[in-house]
Amino acid sequence: MSTTQSETLRGLLEPLVSAEQLDLEEIEVTRAGRRRVLRIVVDSEEGVELDACAELSRAISQKLDETDAMGEGEYVLEVSSPGADRPLTEHRHYVRATGRLARFRLREGGELVARILGVDDEGIDLEVPGVKGRKATSRRIALDEIAGARVEIEFSRKDKKEEEA
């Protein structure tokens, strides 16, 4: 997708997404045979319900039909929330991942797997799990030390709702 088309789409769609109290995370146009696929990824502090994606999809579709932002030709519109393996790139992503286990790739080299305990403007407070029966340790890393990060999927961990019950 050209930068101009991306900017045009972002300018057109950002107000629709914001009106639903959602963040526009990503816009991507790809080819699928003769058709194009327009993928819109949205998120919020509370996550995104399927009904909200469907409602937003209808609003975006109507707006795109009113304009020539997608040009001539067929396209498929997909509106979704980010997947579990989405990279953590923005400050708000780390905030939303508080309490979750994440894998950090560090600029100095190496990786670190730790639970995000807290996030502020300068860095992240982590709990590094103990190895072979050792206790977990606390660690703080600055945001600029992180080369990349992703949430690790945990199959056996109880979520907050189960812990509160």
pLDDT digits (tens, 9 = 90+) for 43-98: 888 888 889 999 999 999 999 988 888 888 888 999 998 877 788 988 988 998 89
The rounded distance, in Å, linking the Cα atoms of 165 and 162 is: 5
101: nearest Cα among 114, 112, 89: 114
Per-residue pLDDT at 1 exceeds 60: no
Per-residue pLDDT at 161 exceeds 50: no
Q: Residues 3-54: pLDDT tens digits?
A: 677 888 999 999 999 999 999 988 998 888 888 899 999 988 888 888 999 9
pLDDT for 165 equals 47
| Adjacency order of strands within the sheet including 137-142 | 137-142, 123-128, 111-119, 101-106, 146-151
The rounded distance, in Å, linking the Cα atoms of 44 and 48 is: 6
pLDDT for 6 equals 80
With vertex at residue 20, the alpha carbon angle to CA 16 and CA 23, rounded to the nearest 5 degrees, is: 80
pLDDT for 144 equals 93
142: nearest Cα among 158, 161, 126: 126
pLDDT for 73 equals 80
pLDDT for 117 equals 96
Q: How confident is the model at residue 2 (pLDDT cuts 50, 70, 90)?
A: low
